[in-house]
Homo-oligomer: A and B are copies of this chain.
Amino acid sequence: MTESTRLFAERGFHPTSVSDIVTSLGVGKGVFYWYFSSKEELLAQLLQAAQLDLRRRQQGAIGDEPDPVRRIELGIRASMQWFSEHRDALTLFQFAATEERFAPVLRAGQEVAVDDLVRHLKDAIGTGRAADQDPQIVAYAILGVVQQLARTFLFSREEPVERVADVAVAFCLHGLES
């Protein structure tokens, strides 16, 4: 699984052939089609497994923290950490978003994470700790920040995770104003 994710991320989904995958695994082609009905199905399962793992990490980090704003912060930091350890997964997510048949799988998983975030946001708004903006839009905005920063600074440049996470948190909580 990890190996296929790496291949897809490095060379792209379509340019990576099933032969490439089985060769890198040192097995025959038949074994691939014994476990997966198609190359598409493999990608779908890879996506789902990655999303599940990311979500678990987020929930583990948040624990039973009572403060909604702090819950959001912990979620951001956990996500950034997870992406820094699973850079290939982010590339997969990004590719999946560009092809109609994978987008639904991706969207389903993303919506679960967003719904959580929306709950925290509503708590924060309800207790006057956050501005009264549409929580769903804000949730996606946060998601965009995390993914973009992970892609740019964790992958291309080799910035330390904490530094990037700090700026991400500061930006999401206070914007660019001082």
Contact = CB atoms under 8 A, between A and B. Distances in A.
Contacts of A164: 137
Interface residues of A, number: 55
A176 B131 contact: yes
Interface stretch (A23-31, A46-54, A90-98): A90-98
Contacts of A13: 14
Contacts of A128: 178
Given A11-B100, A148-B140, A167-B133, A173 B177 contact: yes
Interface in A153-178: 153, 156, 163-164, 167-168, 170-178
A66 interface: no
Interface string A109-148: 0000000000001001000111111100110111111111
A18 interface: no
7 contacts: A97-B151, A129-B177, A133-B176, A134-B167, A137-B164, A141-B145, A141-B168
Interface of A: 9-15, 69, 72, 91, 94-95, 97-100, 107, 121, 124, 128-134, 137-138, 140-149, 151-153, 156, 163-164, 167-168, 170-178
